[in-house]
Amino acid sequence: MPIKVNGARLWENLMQMAKIGGTAKEGCNRQALTDLDIKGRALFSDWCRKIGLQIQYDAVGNMFARLDGRDNHLNPLVIGSHLDTQPTGGKYDGVLGVLAGLEVMTRIVEEKIIPERPIEIACWMNEEGARFAPAMMGSGVWAGMLDLGEVRASIDLEGISVGIELDRHGYSSHPDPQDKDIAAYLELHIEQGPVLEAEGKDVGVVTGAQGIRWYDVVLTGQETHAGPSPMAMRHDPMRLVPALVQGILEIGTRDEAARATIGQVHTAPFSRNVVPGKVVVSVDLRHPNEQVLQSMHDDLATLVSELTGEDRKLTSILEEIWHSPVVAFDAGLVTSIRRGAKELGYSYCDIVSGAGHDSLMVARKVPTAMIFTPCRDGISHNESEHIEPHQAEAGANVLLAAVLDYLGS
Ligand SMILES: [Zn+2]
């Protein structure tokens, strides 16, 4: 019989943690580096110390709870996620991965298993990016994708910087994040989408993550009074918007996996009785295949370049803002997760992550994989985010199986 987690204990811990920063609508507000975030971490640390784990930090506020192995010169296997939430976040996004990590570790201790190498639970700093941008801050600095100095300068709406908060909580004196070596990383997370629930699966085997490309399409014309200027004599960039929007949404329908989103349309000046001189349309393109994403990019570039047609006083420019390449998780770890799900008798399917996760940063440096748990109606970043106890338990059991598989190999 495989060793299994204690699902009731995991659930109890999730409910305890949810009280810290708990909102009236049964969600959580535990934003990064606030006093509530630190309080949540203190509760987690207490639980970890009770089972004999040592707590370590780095200078960007990442926290690691370590169980020594037989050979402590070997780099640790790390499991985890994040404890910070959105301002109106739920009880499970991130928290499930950290507390499932604790449950896995607790079972290993209870079974008196001495792992061949150390195991650590990671609690990455500011995954959400709600209070401080960008998201995935702690894991990004660890992975060398973000600069510690720049991250320290990031400020919240009150003008308080990450650096001030790291100093205030005593994190700054800890070692440079990039000094820490990790052998491999596993993360359990809620899906934050509707696929697993719709397919009736217990767990998702995450094979990688969509590539993401962000753009502004900048349309310019001539700003003029809404009354005196006849329609035919205007150079109104708003005229280009319908064809642009339609073209962009079509790019998102090229296959099942493609996504195209227009989340923002800004006009300038923002006035109801002025023909705008400028319209900026945001574009978010995603695809799990980098070549297809590139051809979506090419289609967008062609669309934008052909948009203005005859009117020489209108211009359309495509500005690329961000490109996060496709991430493929480690084939060995993905196989191990799939095997674990199968041996435990859970229904499962492969899935690609559509959201950002610490794993995407960590995967740039070391073998990484993720397990997803379904969430009700695919809703997250919302106080009504919900999973069932048996779903949390299934995810944690698969995580435990993958951990034991890795350590045994
Ligand atoms: Zn998350």
Average pLDDT for 155-169: 97
CA of 356 to the centre of ligand 1 (A): 8
pLDDT of 1 reads: 80
pLDDT of 309 reads: 87
Query: Helices 389-408 and 7-18 sit at what angle, rounded to 10 degrees?
Result: 110
% the chain with pLDDT above 70? 100
Known binding-site residues for Zn(2+) equal 82, 93, 128, 189, 381
Average pLDDT for 185-197: 97
Averaged confidence pLDDT in the chain: 96
CA of 359 to the centre of ligand 1 (A): 10
Query: Helices 389-408 and 331-343 sit at what angle, rounded to 10 degrees?
Result: 120
CA of 327 to the centre of ligand 1 (A): 17
Q: In the structure, what pLDDT confidence band is assigned to residue 154 with cuts at 50, 70 and 90? A: very high
Neighbouring C-alpha atoms within 13 Å toward the C-beta of 155: 4
Contacts of 228 (CB under 8 A, 6+ apart): none
How far does the chain reach from its first CA to its final CA, in angstroms?
19
Average pLDDT for 145-162: 97
CA of 122 to the centre of ligand 1 (A): 13
Average pLDDT for 278-297: 97
CA of 4 to the centre of ligand 1 (A): 24
Known binding-site residues equal 82, 93, 128, 189, 381
Query: Helices 7-18 and 35-50 sit at what angle, rounded to 10 degrees?
Result: 150
pLDDT of 311 reads: 84
pLDDT of 156 reads: 95
Query: pLDDT tens digits, residue range 230-263?
Result: 999 999 999 999 999 999 999 999 999 999 999 9
Average pLDDT for 294-306: 98
Inform me whether the pLDDT recorded for 205 exceeds 80: yes
In order of their start, the domains of the chain are 7-209+326-408 (3.40.630.10), 211-324 (3.30.70.360)
Inform me whether the pLDDT recorded for 409 exceeds 60: no
pLDDT of 368 reads: 98
CA of 369 to the centre of ligand 1 (A): 15
CA of 222 to the centre of ligand 1 (A): 44
Query: pLDDT tens digits, residue range 45-76?
Result: 999 999 999 999 999 999 999 999 999 999 99
CA of 128 to the centre of ligand 1 (A): 7
Among the residues of 358-388, which ranges form H helices?
358-362
Q: Is 182 in contact with 118 (CB distance < 8 Å)?
A: no
Phi, psi of 44 (to 5 degrees): -60, -45
pLDDT of 74 reads: 98
